[in-house]
Structure 1
């Protein structure tokens, strides 16, 4: 089959699945659309290399995964927008003026099934600096190992764990205010 015809067929068959996966990984409609387009451009360029040892969808998803990783790597290498003043005092000790480090009193194990909670969680995730959000998504959405993430983003494991801890604290504070606490 001619490469152009084959690609058109794949766009019809797999376009929505690729977009859904990209949107899940990136949480941005624009980024997801761009990545899917890049996947098809890369697939068209490498069509001769596709040996049909796997399904076309599997091959396209593999390309998608690499494109998402490249995007995260590019975003992560940008200028850091991290300010730690909110979390540490002048002596580099943790601040906790609002008591955000206390345990939440909730027995609801199904918060992720709650659409309103998910909206607040998404809002809180969007407030994270880009570099932090990248690590959170790679860790919790893509479930990559820390060593792999450190290698992809070119950071030390110590820095990785510090950023994850700070991300969790910021998310916790945001959710404490917006969902569990006074902002609700």
Structure 2
């Protein structure tokens, strides 16, 4: 088979899984489609370097991960300007104790994870995060990548990663407080 024939078959066979992964990482259909197109362009350009030591989909997914990292690096070079002063007073103490409400559901934690409405609320809260925070949170918690991998892939220091993850958790907690737990009472 020629290079063009091989790549055509890859496009037919692997577009869907690549698009699913890209959409998961970007949360935007058009951006995901553009990214997958970039993956195939890069695969075409570097086809001669594919040695066949891995499955084509594995190689294409690696290209997708690099393209995703490049996308976020280019789009979000600086830290998002998120103000957290609604959490803290001038001394650095918590302003509102309700952010720290005890969520102890008395053994119902697993029930929450099975609750479709809760999961939808959690997804909505994740989508409200700044894009750079969202991708780092997804990579670390949902993709279960190691901090060192995420830091290296997105060119952020590990210290900065931990700060972003902490801020993301605080934003998620406040969002869940407002959109889920406060509605239960």
Q: Which category of TM-score, normalised to the shorter sequence, fits these structures?
A: 0.7 to 0.9
1:1-184 matched pairs, under 5 angstroms: 1-78=1-78, 80-97=80-97, 99-106=98-105, 107-182=108-183
Structure 1's 5 and 113: CA in aligned 2 closer, same or farther, altered over 3 A?
A: farther
**Once the 2 structures are TM-superposed, how far is the Cα of residue 101 of structure 1 from its aligned partner?**
0.8
* Residue segments in structure 1 that go unaligned for 5+ positions in a row: none
**Once the 2 structures are TM-superposed, how far is the Cα of residue 179 of structure 1 from its aligned partner?**
1.5
Structure 1's 147 and 86: CA in aligned 2 closer, same or farther, altered over 3 A?
A: same
Partner Cα distance (2:172, 2:87) in 1 = 12
**Once the 2 structures are TM-superposed, how far is the Cα of residue 103 of structure 1 from its aligned partner?**
1.9
Whether contact under 8 Å (1:76, 1:153) holds in the other structure is: no
Structure 1's 155 and 43: CA in aligned 2 closer, same or farther, altered over 3 A?
A: closer
Normalised TM-score (structure 1): 0.86
Count of aligned pairs between the two proteins: 183
Partner Cα distance (1:152, 1:12) in 2 = 28
Structure 1's 69 and 141: CA in aligned 2 closer, same or farther, altered over 3 A?
A: farther
Structure 1's 126 and 11: CA in aligned 2 closer, same or farther, altered over 3 A?
A: same
CA deviations over 1:131-184 (Å, ceiling 9, x no partner): 322321221133222233334444443332222122111101111221122389
Whether contact under 8 Å (1:128, 1:167) holds in the other structure is: yes
Task: State the Cα RMSD in Å.
Answer: 2.2
Partner Cα distance (2:116, 2:183) in 1 = 19
**Once the 2 structures are TM-superposed, how far is the Cα of residue 17 of structure 1 from its aligned partner?**
1.0
CA deviations over 1:53-90 (Å, ceiling 9, x no partner): 22211111111121122223233314522112112211
**Once the 2 structures are TM-superposed, how far is the Cα of residue 16 of structure 1 from its aligned partner?**
0.6
**Once the 2 structures are TM-superposed, how far is the Cα of residue 23 of structure 1 from its aligned partner?**
1.8
Which structure carries more helix by proportion?
2
Partner Cα distance (2:114, 2:22) in 1 = 21
Whether contact under 8 Å (1:125, 1:133) holds in the other structure is: yes
* Residue segments in structure 2 that go unaligned for 5+ positions in a row: none
